[in-house]
A = this chain, B = another copy of it.
């Protein structure tokens, strides 16, 4: 089923068929209709590979995510895909599983597929390669996470500011009697959330004992471990600040396991925790907006690939969204 078959069946040359395919150049009404008819009858689908090869344009964007079972990323991805689709751009996903090696492989594959742009929520490991990609003319858009040493377009949330605000609230209420469950330091959002806390501590002139900070890794299991840790202390914190919602879920699991009421400690968490609507807790959340992140990333990407808008040599455009804080008193 090629353009040749269509041309023959319609009694025209391939060029004419190509013209109706691309809505370019002049084609008589009669020919146009005949060709359209034939295409429908044969159920012809143009070969995207051949078109892309010839046009040097794939209308394709790569997206690398660390975990495609993560609700936050998938919400962003979904919106992103919708937006791109409106401009006839297609998304090719890859899942790195937080593994730099797999990320490297994914980047390679996407390059081979000649994606016109790369959107990345990365492990942070391949700054040099990404810079090279950019230099070669493929726009790179960082999503949610920064990559140290890489000046690229950026769509992120203001983690530090939100964390600082949340921490100030807790410090003013409980002083140093709080616990912090940190994320993995290799991820920029985790670093920023930690530094927000640090800023708040400095602002209030408070020191946090080392055992009040638990080094988690954004997983539910580490939140559960944090609960065990905090509840094992001579004096357990009155409140906990958790750097993401998975760890918060784990924290509650751990509290339950230790026979503690779930509203025994006040908790502030990054990211929504739907489950909290079903039990009694004192939970405040820093509400993120993956859809807006996805939409902004799409908009930025399209600007680069559609309008060939060049990035400044110095650095890219930064879009920073402020998460909303949702304070909750006992929510039962």
Interface centre among A47, A52, A91, A278 (most CB of B within 10 A): A278
Contact A111 B45 (CB under 8 A): yes
> Chain B contacts of A78 at CB under 8 A?
68-69, 95
Measured CA separation A69–B109 after assembly (Å): 24
> A194 at the A/B interface (Cβ < 8 Å)?
no
Q: Which of A154-162, A249-257, A314-322 has 4 or more CB atoms under 8 Å from chain B?
A: A249-257
- Nearest CB of chain B from residue A221's CB, rounded to whole Å: 13
> A75 at the A/B interface (Cβ < 8 Å)?
yes
Q: Which of A103-130 contact B (CB under 8 A)?
A: 108-109, 111-114
**What sequence of 0s and 1s flags, for each residue 38-78 of chain A, a beta carbon within 8 Å of any chain B beta carbon?**
00000101111110110000100000000011010011011
Contact B49 A114 (CB under 8 A): yes
> A274 at the A/B interface (Cβ < 8 Å)?
yes
- Nearest CB of chain B from residue A106's CB, rounded to whole Å: 10
Contact A274 B277 (CB under 8 A): no
> Chain B contacts of A233 at CB under 8 A?
none
Contact A114 B43 (CB under 8 A): no
**What sequence of 0s and 1s flags, for each residue 121-151 of chain A, a beta carbon within 8 Å of any chain B beta carbon?**
0000000000010000000000000000000
> A275 at the A/B interface (Cβ < 8 Å)?
yes
Contact B277 A279 (CB under 8 A): no
Given A90-B109, A256-B277, A274-B275: A53 touches B47 (CB 8 Å cut-off): yes
Question: A105 — nearest CB in chain B belongs to which residue?
Answer: B85
Measured CA separation A58–B279 after assembly (Å): 50
> A262 at the A/B interface (Cβ < 8 Å)?
yes
Other-chain residue from B49, B58, B68 in contact with A53 (beta carbon distance below 8 A): B49
Measured CA separation A256–B331 after assembly (Å): 12
- Nearest CB of chain B from residue A222's CB, rounded to whole Å: 16
Contact B113 A48 (CB under 8 A): yes
Measured CA separation A46–B111 after assembly (Å): 9
9 contacts between A and B (CB under 8 A): A45-B108, A45-B112, A47-B53, A48-B114, A49-B52, A93-B93, A249-B274, A274-B275, A275-B275
| Known contacts A74-B74, A253-B277, then 6 further A-B pairs from the complex at CB < 8 Å, ordered by chain A residue | A45-B112, A48-B112, A68-B77, A81-B95, A90-B109, A92-B92
